[in-house]
Each structure stands twice: as structure tokens, then as C-alpha cells.
């Protein structure tokens, strides 16, 4: 595994997450929640395992969307409002106890960050946004065996 570290930070710098190595997945998502959360028309996020997280600073406020998306706690900076990362709940049994974090790729402000490997919820996609080269668009959330983390032990 690469030993390179990267730090995602909110706008004011209080809320950060530093991770080591390469992301498990990089996902472009066009869903209504990502649009409202970011204020942009899509979100690019990446997944890291808890054992890749080397540091966190700041105390985030947690927002859980509720019934529509009960398994994700979004952590945002109460001072500047950036959502830097989120924690998936419920994957631990599939990951032999590992936790999975999502991080908003924009918060790294790193143009060398790997490009998306999945394009999802394209039914919400604005018509001027093009397909990503080599990626199949998924109109909704793909089947779990498509999106599953590499460490997952599928039934």
C-alpha cells in the first residue's frame, strides 16, 4: 500500500481528516441529496477504511438524513459548514469489523487525486454533464456486488 498521506479540510481548517494510501473507490454521484449537501450538481467522493485514517482534527456536527439514507452519518464543520467526511454504518459485518469512511474529494484540493471509478444516480444528472470515459452510468445505486468494497466478504 502507498504510504502517501492526504488531508481533507473544511473551509476554515478546523475539521480535517488525514488518510494514508489509495482510496478504495472514487464515486461521482448525481443524487438529490448530494446536490443539496454540496450546492453543486454532483458530488465526487472517495472511500477509505478506518485503518487508513491517520489523523482527525476538530469536532464535527453529525447529520443523518434519516429514513431515506439511515446508514450514513455526515460530519460537517459547525463553524464554516463544509461536509468533510461521513461514516457508513452497517458495513462492519461484511468488512470483518472494518469501518468505511466517505470523504468529499474536493476537500483535498488536490488535482492529482485519482479520477472517479463509479458514476451513480445518473437519473438525476444534468444533461450537459457527460459520461466519464470508460465508466458505465448507473441510473440508481448499483447492486452491492458492483459497489462493494474490495475487502467485503460477499454472501
Applying CB under 5 A, the residues found at the interface with Zn ion are: 10, 12, 14, 29, 31, 34, 77, 79-80
Would you say 31 or 95 has its CB closer to Zn ion? 31
Least distance (Å) between residue 29 CB and Zn ion: 3
Least distance (Å) between residue 76 CB and Zn ion: 8
Would you say 51 or 78 has its CB closer to Zn ion? 78
Q: Strands 118-120 and 25-29, how do they pair?
A: parallel
Give the list of residues 6+ apart from residue 60 with CB closer than 8 angstroms, or none. Answer: 15, 75, 76, 77, 78, 84, 85
Least distance (Å) between residue 121 CB and Zn ion: 5
Rounded Cα distance between 2 and 104, Å, is 20
Amino acid at each position: 500500500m502507498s504510504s502517501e498521506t492526504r488531508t481533507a479540510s473544511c473551509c476554515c481548517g478546523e475539521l480535517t481528516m488525514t488518510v494514508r494510501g489509495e482510496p478504495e473507490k472514487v464515486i461521482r454521484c448525481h443524487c438529490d441529496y448530494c446536490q443539496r449537501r454540496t450546492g453543486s450538481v454532483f458530488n465526487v467522493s472517495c472511500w477509505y477504511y478506518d485503518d487508513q485514517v491517520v489523523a482527525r482534527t476538530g469536532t464535527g456536527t453529525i447529520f443523518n438524513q434519516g429514513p431515506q439514507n439511515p446508514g450514513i452519518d455526515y460530519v460537517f464543520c459547525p463553524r464554516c459548514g463544509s461536509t468533510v467526511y461521513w461514516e457508513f454504518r452497517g458495513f462492519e459485518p461484511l468488512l470483518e469489523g472494518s469501518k468505511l469512511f466517505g470523504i468529499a474529494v474536493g476537500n483535498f484540493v488536490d488535482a492529482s487525486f485519482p479520477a472517479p471509478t463509479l458514476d451513480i444516480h445518473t437519473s438525476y444528472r444534468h444533461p450537459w454533464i457527460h459520461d466519464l470515459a470508460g465508466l458505465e452510468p448507473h441510473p440508481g445505486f448499483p447492486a452491492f456486488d458492483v459497489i462493494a468494497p474490495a475487502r467485503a466478504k460477499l454472501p
